[in-house]
Amino acid sequence: MFKNNLTFGYVLFVGIPLLILIGTLRAGADLSALPAVSGDWTVEPTPNKCAGPLANASQPALSIYQTGSNLLIAFNDPRKTTLAGKLEDGSVTAVSATTGGRALRLEAAVSGEPGHRSLQGRLSFDGSSACAPVPFRAVKSGK
């Protein structure tokens, strides 16, 4: 009796979950995840004073902390400027709270394969007539 119970128990509690596991792994094989942008980034030199924190940041100039689509971007400048942003459809959009009264905005497109990723976009100050948006290019320093 117990042996039959045990066999039934194995089928019910071990066999079925194992089948579900196999099904899960198959179903998930088609899932795609967001591009990995987390890590340190080296930005090509931008001496333009309109580049804000990038103008006097030491390399790696950017550190990105990623939780799914949520990003926290930290500049390696003396003021340690940080921006909160999103990663959607392969594009990064981030805004700082304030930087000397003006909000700093970063917009960039993510390209390349994991391990050879790059960011190409521009930095601008919201509502600033004196500064035009500054283009930049960044490459990932490692995972």
Which stretches of the chain bind another protein, using CB under 8 A? 2, 5-6, 9-10, 12-14, 17-18, 20-21, 24-25, 27-29, 31-38, 65-70, 72, 114-115, 143
Identity of the residue, 97 or 132, whose beta carbon is nearer to another protein in the bound complex? 97
Cα–Cα distance measured from residue 110 to residue 90, given in angstroms and rounded to the nearest whole number: 5
Task: For 70, list phi and psi in degrees, rounded to 5.
Answer: -85, 135
Residue 78 C-beta: closest distance to another protein, Å: 15
Cα–Cα distance measured from residue 132 to residue 30, given in angstroms and rounded to the nearest whole number: 42
Identity of the residue, 127 or 142, whose beta carbon is nearer to another protein in the bound complex? 142
Residue 118: exposure state from Cβ atoms within 10 A (0-12, 13-18, ≥19): middle
Residue 126 C-beta: closest distance to another protein, Å: 22
